[in-house]
Homo-oligomer: A and B are copies of this chain.
Amino acid sequence: MANPTAAMLVIGDEILSGRTRDANMHYLAGALTEVGINLAEVRIVSDDRDAIISAVQALSAVYDTVFTSGGIGPTHDDITADCMAAAFGQSIDVRDDARAILQVHYDKAGTELNAARLRMARIPEGARLIDNPVSAAPGFSIENVHVMAGVPSVFKAMVASVLPTLTGGAPLISKTLTIHRGEGDIAGPLGALAEAYPALSMGSYPFQRDGKYGANIVVRGQDTALLDEAMGKLAEAFS
């Protein structure tokens, strides 16, 4: 049976300008692979209302689950929550449950819950809050979309809050064989092996190290015995 599919939408000018290197995508990719959810597509868009709305609508329609990161803070460029409400035809306002969470957090810290911070309690009608044990301000889930913060420590904490609520698939097992030859020598036997094992996926990821070519051959599948058999043949072909 096919594993559940997921997509990620990264929201933020800072990644598209090359200022920041995204860390959340790589983390989510690993976490989803572990629970057998197939991350099938990632899109990165800027802090632009139309771009965010059309991307989340497109991804939500095609994949089982969508994760977003970024744009839910207190500043003027944090427009993700309003875009999500618009994308799914919901109203949005400061919600009492989210405000209460912020109030407790900022009271403890002796910090004023001012108008800017209160923006973080703007949650679309009908959305479910996502727990944020790091900095309190919640994410939220609307339809099949989980809306999370961009700060990596908070993103990770929110992923941990959301993952147990999802139905995973059979974990994908993956094995790697590193071959120190050019891909041009690997391609023939590898292609034949890939045809002989249609239930497995075989990928060749070339590298160049100290001026020499090689490739990591990654074989993925859900049947350990079949995987071991194919890895044996692979090793034999390139011994």
In the docked arrangement, what's the CA distance between A28 and B17, Å?
A: 9
Interface flag for A117 (CB, 8 Å): yes
Residues of B within 8 A of A111 (CB): 182, 184
In the complex, how many angstroms separate the beta carbon of A139 from the nearest chain B beta carbon? 15
User: Which residues of A (10-52) have their CB < 8 Å from a CB of B?
Assistant: 12-22, 25-33, 39-47, 51
Within 8 Å by CB of A17, from B45, B46, B220, lies B220
A144 at interface by CB-CB < 8 Å: no
The number of chain A residues with a CB under 8 A from chain B is 74
CA distance A85 to B58 in the complex (A): 25
Q: Which residues of A contact B (CB under 8 A)?
A: 12-22, 25-33, 39-47, 51, 73-78, 111, 114-117, 119-120, 134-135, 150-151, 153-154, 172, 174, 182-188, 190-191, 194-195, 201-208, 213, 215, 218, 220
A-B contact pairs, 9 of them (CB 8 A): A16-B42, A41-B45, A42-B42, A47-B203, A75-B204, A114-B185, A116-B183, A150-B206, A153-B208
